[in-house]
């Protein structure tokens, strides 16, 4: 049986289908008590991507088996990315050279 975080990772990956553009650098989730926090890192601010993220939030919620507390954080940066802590699940990271 899948753990709660594994289920949330799969739900997020399913919700992300067709959303990710070349501007997306990394997407990860973490659990904070009873809440799930999804962090999306973009290279630059783009209206189309921000609209897609709004749709993503609705899709993520619709795919849940029961109501959950969640939050989406959007960070815009072109700085070098390091791999997050061990308690964070990375569901997407683009290849960067």
Where residue 75 sits, what CATH number does that domain have? 3.30.460
Label residue 17 exposed, middle or buried (CB < 10 Å: 0-12, 13-18, 19+). exposed
Sheet with 89-93, side-by-side order of all strands: 69-76, 35-42, 24-32, 89-93
Mean pLDDT for all residues in the chain = 95
Structural domain count, the chain: 1
Structural domain span for residue 44: 4-93
Percent of the chain with pLDDT over 70: 100
Q: Which two tokens stand for residue 38?
A: 């999804």
Q: What is the pLDDT of residues 28-72, one digit of tens each?
A: 999 999 899 999 999 999 999 999 999 999 999 999 999 999 999
* Token pair in block for residue 79: 């700085």
Separation between Cα atoms, residue 92 and residue 83, nearest integer Å? 11
Strand residue runs (E) in the chain: 24-32, 35-42, 69-76, 89-93
Beta bridge partners of 90: 28
């Amino acid at each position: 049986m899948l753990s709660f975080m594994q289920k949330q990772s799969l739900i997020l990956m399913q919700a992300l289908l067709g959303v990710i553009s070349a501007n997306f650098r990394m997407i990860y989730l973490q659990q904070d008590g009873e809440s799930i926090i999804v962090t999306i890192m973009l290279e630059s601010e783009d209206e189309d991507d921000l609209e897609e993220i709004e749709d993503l939030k609705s899709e993520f919620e619709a795919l849940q088996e029961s109501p959950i507390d969640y939050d989406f954080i959007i960070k815009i940066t072109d700085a070098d990315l390091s791999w997050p802590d061990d308690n964070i699940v990375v569901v997407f990271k683009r290849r960067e050279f």
